[in-house]
Amino acid sequence: MNYQEGLKAIPAAAISTKDATALEEVMEKDNGNVNFHFEMDCKVLPEKKSHNVIAELTGNIYPNRIITIGAHLDSWDVGEGAHDDGAGIVHTMEALRILKELNYKPKHTLRVVFFMNEENGNMGGKTYAKKVKKENEEHILAIESDRGGFSPRGFSVDGKAKHLALIQSFEKIFAPYFVHYFEEGYGGVDIGPLKKEYKDIGLIGFVPDSQRYFDFHHNANDVFENVNKRELHLGAAAISSLVYLLDKYYSEVN
Ligand SMILES: [Zn+2]
């Protein structure tokens, strides 16, 4: 709901896919002869200072080359944000924890970022990208999990041909676990602004099974008990594995 400059704004609202479907069903039943009453009491409050939360394992060979692994801390106003994006927070935190637990010494600096305020303006993502660029950091890759805590299916790649080729070269390692989707596609909202600052960066989006995502996304059902523990584990394992492989091979071929 963005307006072209000069257009007169009309009241607009976003409702969840689930509610939109329910509304559509009612309207169809009565041949569209429905009175729909919708109340909004939202307003924009002044900005408050908030923070991204950052942790990293420093690289042993290329400490100045950074791989960001991110998800967002904030959630929509209903539900608990368990899938969106609590699951992503667990995925990314687990990726670093698993590698640390294995006593893995990364070549590159692996940095987990819990971004603040994705839902309402992406301030965490925008601020992070600007800040790291200003500090002259070298960012080579960024990975995001923000599509729910469902069984992993693969990864989508927004970058150069070399990024896609590298990630597709891992496909056979994941295939036995039915993680087989390695295609060109969207990275993620939080890591998106990095692309503006780093022309050569590869952005990677974690892609879980999407069949039930919109049963939970931005509605009251997005609660903790609707995240399956095993599926969440599998997502974390898939992301840890990808981080490990990227860390191991990226600078060998680039
Ligand atoms: Zn989200």
Domain positions in the chain are: 53-253
Residue 229 binned pLDDT confidence (cut-offs 50, 70, 90): very high
**Strand pairing category for 152-158 and 181-184:** parallel
What are the beta bridge partners of residue 114?
Answer: 53, 71
* C-alpha 252 – ligand 1 centre gap (Å): 33
Question: Which of these ranges, 10-14, 174-178, 241-245, has the smallest mean pLDDT?
Answer: 10-14
**What is the three-class DSSP state of 149?**
coil
Tell me what pLDDT residue 4 has.
Answer: 85
* C-alpha 213 – ligand 1 centre gap (Å): 11
Angle between helices 229-253 and 161-168 (to 10 degrees): 120
**What are the tokens at 217?**
């996304």
* C-alpha 62 – ligand 1 centre gap (Å): 31
CATH number for the domain running over 53-253: 3.40.630.10
**What is the three-class DSSP state of 162?**
helix
Provide mean pLDDT across the span 88-113.
97
Residue 83 binned pLDDT confidence (cut-offs 50, 70, 90): very high
Q: Return the percentage of the chain with pLDDT > 90, whole number.
A: 77
CB-hemisphere CA count at 13 Å for 168? Answer: 12
Cβ–Cβ under 8 Å, residues 45 and 90: no
Tell me what pLDDT residue 75 has.
Answer: 95
Provide mean pLDDT across the span 50-75.
97
* C-alpha 117 – ligand 1 centre gap (Å): 10
